[in-house]
Amino acid sequence: MTGSAARAIGHSLRTYYAPGRAARLDAFHRRFLVPGALAFDIGAHVGDRTASFRRLGARVVAVEPQPRLARLLRLLFGRDADVVRVSALVGAMPGEAVLRLNTANPTVATVSAGFIAAAKGAPGWEGQRWDAEIRLPVATLDALAAAHGRPDFVKLDVEGYEAEALAGLSFAPRSLSFEFTTIQRGVALAALRRLSLLGYRAFNACLGESMIFAHPAPVEAAAMAEWITALPAEANSGDVYASMEGESAIA
């Protein structure tokens, strides 16, 4: 591992495992998971969500395509029989694709050329450079479910490839989240349309890493789309949550 890559991963570990954060994650995720439930952590990164899901007693399929981060997940969870680690991309169809790596900031590795183009020159994205690439297998959410069981909750964070990943899902887990950015609002709107087709009617969202819902009660897809469209650019990113259980999960 190069020095810059090691420093970047170290920074992510300090950020996502900061003191007090685990308790906040667990309190937030408890609405989605009970002991024995199954969670998919798609874009597991340094495994903070996987760790939270496990503390809540859920089984986890942790999908992380970046080799350095996959090795870290093996160190963190390799002895845990209730964590299945998958080194693959997630997309609309099985096959192969190119993952573009940002050595200095591994949180934004992406398959999406559109994501990289949108980030160029955008406020808050200055200095980001995708300086390496690797070709990797692509799995679908349907294929992961066929192999490991249908999840109760899916967390999806794949840097501008969320709509593509959701195109490979043909059923509706009880709850699901996907990341959005203000540099690619169209991806979020496409993801919302896909989830609506799957039958979701209740949505909420959190900005950044706040783990605080932006809406006092769940809203429909059209209202969520309007809210995302109206966000200022400096909002930068967040996560949309969808539930088949209505207000009980995302209020």
> What is the DSSP secondary structure assignment for residue 174, as one 8-state letter?
S
Give the tens place of pLDDT for each residue, 70-109.
999 999 999 999 999 999 999 999 999 999 999 999 999 9
Q: In the predicted model, what is the mean pLDDT of residues 133-142? A: 98
Q: Note the pTM of the prediction, 2 decimals.
A: 0.96
Among left, alpha and beta (phi > 0; psi -120 to 50; other), residue 89 is beta
Element holding 238 (H helix, E strand): strand 237-243
Q: In the predicted model, what is the mean pLDDT of residues 139-157? A: 98
Distance between CA atoms of 65 and 106, rounded to whole angstroms? Answer: 11
**pLDDT at position 245:** 76
Nearest to 231 by CA among 250, 207, 204: 207
In this prediction, residue 251 has a pLDDT band, given cuts at 50, 70 and 90, of: confident
Give the tens place of pLDDT for each residue, 20-50.
999 999 999 999 999 999 999 999 999 999 9
Distance between CA atoms of 162 and 157, rounded to whole angstroms? Answer: 7
**Strand, helix or coil for residue 55:** helix
**pLDDT at position 208:** 96
Judge contact between 51 and 76, C-beta under 8 A. yes
Give the tens place of pLDDT for each residue, 165-204.
999 999 999 999 999 999 999 999 999 999 999 999 999 9
What are the boundaries of each domain within the chain? 3-250
Report residue 159 as tokens: 């840097």
Which CATH fold topology does 3-250 show? Answer: Rossmann fold (3.40.50)
Residue in the structure block whose two tokens are 């990164």: 45
